[in-house]
Amino acid sequence: MNAAAPLFAVAVFAPLFGAIIAGLFGASIGDRAARAVSIGCMVLATLCGLGALAGALMDGSPVLAVSVSDWIQAGGFRAPWTLRFDMLSVEMVAMVTLVSTLIHIYSVGYMSHETSPVSRFFAYLSLFTFAMLMLVSSDNLIQLFFGWEGVGLASYLLIGYWYDRPSANAAAIKAFVVNRVADLFFMVGIALLFAQFGTVSYDNIFALVPDHQAAMYHLFGTDMRAYEVIGVLLFIGAMGKSAQLFLHTWLPDAMEGPTPVSALIHAATMVTAGVFLLARMSPLIEFAPVTKDLVVVIGASTCFFAATVGLVQPDIKRTIAYSTCSQLGYMFMACGVGVYQAGMFHLTTHAFFKALLFLGAGSVIHALHDEQDMFRMGGLGRRLPVTCAVMWIGSLALAGIPPFAGWWSKDAIIDATFIAGTGPGYYGWVLGSITAFLTALYSGRLLFLVFHSRVRDAHLQEQAHESGLVILVPLVILACGAAFAGAAFAPWFIGGRQAGFWNGSIFNAPGNDVLASLEQVPVLITLVPTVLALLGAGVAFYAYMVRPELPALLAARHPGLYRFLLNKWYFDELYDRIFVRPYEAVARLFWHVGEEDIAEGVPGSIGRLTSGGSVQLVRIQTGSIAVYAFTMLIGLVVLISTFLVFR
């Protein structure tokens, strides 16, 4: 067995150990010790994760199965605990552990003002990380689903960490419920896969995929290809976790959790699960062209939608949250046109700059004592120089300005959509390019409003102070990643070495040569997103620095459009009408009629009937011997008659 495999197992399970120690024994060993244990485990996991990555690179990306134990074995159904060691999972494990560790360390500083013990917080963080590691390292769909649900649970716990805030509880429930809705489709997808292939193990499924291409389902009066149905179901599951359009509503609300949680959700552990799922299932998705088109359309629409909403949000964290939504759209576009490698590449670079942006925003919020409204900030650049610098790096990476990380991956995706040459591909290219402009615009808006424009609240600005080292060090490390990861990884992820790097862990159907054709994109087309991004940045500078009154003027001139964007295209209101209120009405019906009248009323009536009947029954107990004797004789007669009749 490869020497990297045990390292890999340690990397996956160390966070679980940390979570158990901090969670169950946090009260007895003390807050400081619990924190130390959970961070220690995470550091260990990171070292092992990077070690496993290094080992895998040296050995030429081997594909191994690290058996842990048996789990479920029922008839023909078998789901063991096995860690899948291939480049896709190793790369994810390394990235997740690294980012998560930095967030753990950052949290020590960020949560220092909490009055209650934070061991619970660290336990949840570690649990969250473990669930994500389990998800990415799974060897079968059931194990994947375990991690998938673990991520959902941990996100619920963390978003609702401040359980005394009603808004946090509501956001946690919303995240959980929206994810459950998507999970239902995902579960049906898994079940159909099992029904189709009789196995849940990746290797077996992928081996059988070419043989079952003709399988059809007869659904709603039409015949559909089984792969399309399964693919769409899996994609809906991915949409829920990755907050794609129609199932995205939980993501902005999830900002109610502490900022490190937002960073974790957006960068490493949760929303990327959907993209990972598509990459993991690429051997199947490649044979479902309709699903792929759907993925492109949804991805592109999300990309554009989220960017427009991000333009007008006053809350610094929400702006970044919508940018995540938008960037995830890019990743799905990449998967949809068959360059999962580019999706994974963007996922990785995005992890660095998005964690950086959130943690930077957290640093700003921390400095301003929980102020999140960008329109009350301003001129903070001088008071928070390091934070300002790293936020610049993160934003440039996000906006896709060369040579920062985001440029490499995002450009590859936009080019790929063009190369794909299909209708949905061009749709993706147009929206992706426009979004590049919008991304730069709202990134610039954030930077200028927060750090460079005139001071709006002098009192707030005077109080602001740069955060401590425990916050700044993770920021600087992430900033390095955001700056250089793109250039460093590009050859491996999508460039000349990609075939050897991925070594079959991502599948491209024969004839899918989008990736190989990336170099042949016309130069003018390649330049479009970059130029648009620079243009966006310029517009941002003009609108927020040169003529700061311009945005307000625009909003006043187009109030309808402004409100439409500010209210996030009215999705929440729409869902409230379509789903929440009818559901509440049905629930109320069940409550009043089902429970109060039937579930409680019927037993109550039976009880009254019984006691009433018993009173009547006792009435024959008169005390008169004659009645008693008479009763006995009647009983005798009845018995004899019964006997004679039925004998």
Partner 1 sequence: MPIVVMNWTLALPEIVLSVSGLAILVFGVLQRRDATQLCSMLALAAFVVTGFLVIAAPDGIGYNSVFVGDDFARFMKILSLIGAALSLVLSIDYNRREGIGRFEFPVLLLFSTVGTMVMASSENLMTLYIGLELQSLAIYILCAFDRDRLGSAEAGLKYFVLGSLASGLLLYGVSLVFGFAGTMEYRGLQTALAASAEIPTGLVIGIVFIIVGLAFKVSAVPFHMWTPDVYQGAPPPVTSFMAGAPKIAAFALLLRVMAGPFGAVSHQWQLLIELISMASMLFGALAAIPQTSIKRLMAYSSIGHMGYALMGLAAATPAGMRGTLVYLAVYLFMNAGSFAVIVAMRRRGRSVERIADLAGLGRTDPGLALAMAVFMFSMIGVPPLSGFFGKLLVFSAALQAGLPVLVVVGIVSSVIGAYYYLRVVKVMYFDAAAVAFDRPAASVSLVSASMGLVTGLFILVLGPISSAAQAAASVLFR
Question: Of 279-298, which residues contact partner 1 (CB under 8 A)?
Answer: none
Which range of residues in 235-243, 265-273, 441-449, 629-637 is near partner 1 by CB under 8 A? 629-637
| Residue 497, CA distances (Å) to 86, 283, 420, 517 in order | 16, 20, 21, 14
CA of residue 361 relative to chain centroid, distance: 20
Which range of residues in 253-261, 461-469, 482-490, 636-644 is near partner 1 by CB under 8 A? 636-644
Half-sphere exposure of residue 632: CA atoms within 13 angstroms, side-chain side = 5
Q: How far apart are CA 485 and CA 356, in angstroms?
A: 13
Q: How far apart are CA 30 and CA 146, in angstroms?
A: 30
CB of 152 to partner 1, least distance (A): 39
Asked, as a colleague might, if the bond just before 403 is cis with ω within 30 of 0, I would say yes
Q: Which is nearer to partner 1, 556 or 645 (CB)?
A: 645
User: Does residue 646 interact with partner 1 by CB under 8 A?
Assistant: yes
User: Does residue 628 interact with partner 1 by CB under 8 A?
Assistant: yes
Which range of residues in 83-91, 189-197, 387-395, 628-636 is near partner 1 by CB under 8 A? 628-636
CB of 604 to partner 1, least distance (A): 13
CB of 643 to partner 1, least distance (A): 5
* # residues near partner 1 by CB under 8 A: 26
Q: Which is nearer to partner 1, 602 or 636 (CB)?
A: 636
Which range of residues in 20-28, 444-452, 510-518, 627-635 is near partner 1 by CB under 8 A? 627-635
Binding mask 546-585 for partner 1 (x = CB under 8 A): ----------------------------------------
Which range of residues in 15-23, 361-369, 423-431, 634-642 is near partner 1 by CB under 8 A? 634-642
User: Does residue 634 interact with partner 1 by CB under 8 A?
Assistant: yes
Residue type, 382: R
User: Does residue 220 interact with partner 1 by CB under 8 A?
Assistant: no
Q: Which is nearer to partner 1, 469 or 627 (CB)?
A: 627
Q: How far apart are CA 515 and CA 500, in angstroms?
A: 14
Tell which one of 516, 585, 593, 632 touches partner 1 (CB under 8 A): 632
CA nearest to 322, candidates 306, 311, 308: 306
CB of 621 to partner 1, least distance (A): 6
Which range of residues in 1-9, 230-238, 410-418, 605-613 is near partner 1 by CB under 8 A? 605-613
CB of 616 to partner 1, least distance (A): 9
Question: Of 375-394, which residues contact partner 1 (CB under 8 A)?
Answer: none
Residue type, 517: S
User: Does residue 638 interact with partner 1 by CB under 8 A?
Assistant: yes
CB of 351 to partner 1, least distance (A): 56
Contact residues for 45 (Cβ-Cβ < 8 A; gap 6+) = 10, 11, 12, 14, 15, 97, 101, 129, 133
CA of residue 418 relative to chain centroid, distance: 27
User: Does residue 608 interact with partner 1 by CB under 8 A?
Assistant: no
Q: How far apart are CA 514 and CA 35, in angstroms?
A: 47
**558: number of Cβ within 10 Å:** 12
- Looking up tokens 């950086």, which residue turns up? 356
User: Does residue 112 interact with partner 1 by CB under 8 A?
Assistant: no
Contact residues for 489 (Cβ-Cβ < 8 A; gap 6+) = 345, 348, 349, 408
Tell which one of 112, 167, 605, 614 touches partner 1 (CB under 8 A): 614
CB of 602 to partner 1, least distance (A): 14
User: Does residue 516 interact with partner 1 by CB under 8 A?
Assistant: no
Tell which one of 74, 523, 546, 618 touches partner 1 (CB under 8 A): 618
- Exposure letters 448-486 (e unless 16+ CB within 10 A, then b): bbbbbbeeebeebbeebeebeeebbebbebbbebbbbbb
Helix ranges restricted to H, 421-521: 423-447, 458-463, 469-493, 498-502
Which range of residues in 406-414, 423-431, 515-523, 637-645 is near partner 1 by CB under 8 A? 637-645
Partners of 140 in beta bridges: 201
Contact residues for 208 (Cβ-Cβ < 8 A; gap 6+) = 197, 199
**18: number of Cβ within 10 Å:** 30
User: Does residue 213 interact with partner 1 by CB under 8 A?
Assistant: no
CA–CA–CA angle 58, 64, 68 (5° rounding) = 125
CB of 601 to partner 1, least distance (A): 18
Q: How far apart are CA 599 and CA 580, in angstroms?
A: 24
Partners of 219 in beta bridges: 222
Q: Which pairing describes strands 64-74 and 77-85: parallel, antiparallel, or unpaired?
A: antiparallel
| Contact call for residues 47 and 67 (beta carbons, < 8 A) | no
Tell which one of 3, 554, 593, 636 touches partner 1 (CB under 8 A): 636
Residue 568 is classified by DSSP as G
Residue 72 is classified by DSSP as E
Question: Of 139-178, which residues contact partner 1 (CB under 8 A)?
Answer: none
User: Does residue 73 interact with partner 1 by CB under 8 A?
Assistant: no
CB of 599 to partner 1, least distance (A): 17
Which range of residues in 67-75, 178-186, 372-380, 630-638 is near partner 1 by CB under 8 A? 630-638
CA nearest to 39, candidates 123, 159, 162, 163: 123
User: Does residue 621 interact with partner 1 by CB under 8 A?
Assistant: yes
User: Does residue 627 interact with partner 1 by CB under 8 A?
Assistant: yes
Tell which one of 60, 421, 496, 613 touches partner 1 (CB under 8 A): 613
SS3 annotation, 87-121: HHHHHHHHHHHHHHHHHHHHHHHHHHHCCCCCHHH
Q: How far apart are CA 261 and CA 368, in angstroms?
A: 19
Q: How far apart are CA 267 and CA 354, in angstroms?
A: 6
User: Does residue 219 interact with partner 1 by CB under 8 A?
Assistant: no
User: Does residue 611 interact with partner 1 by CB under 8 A?
Assistant: yes
User: Does residue 605 interact with partner 1 by CB under 8 A?
Assistant: no
Tell which one of 214, 524, 546, 615 touches partner 1 (CB under 8 A): 615
User: Does residue 635 interact with partner 1 by CB under 8 A?
Assistant: yes
User: Does residue 610 interact with partner 1 by CB under 8 A?
Assistant: yes
Tell which one of 1, 207, 516, 640 touches partner 1 (CB under 8 A): 640
Residues of this chain that bind partner 1 (CB under 8 A): 610-611, 613-615, 617-618, 621, 623, 625, 627-629, 631-632, 634-636, 638-640, 642-644, 646-647
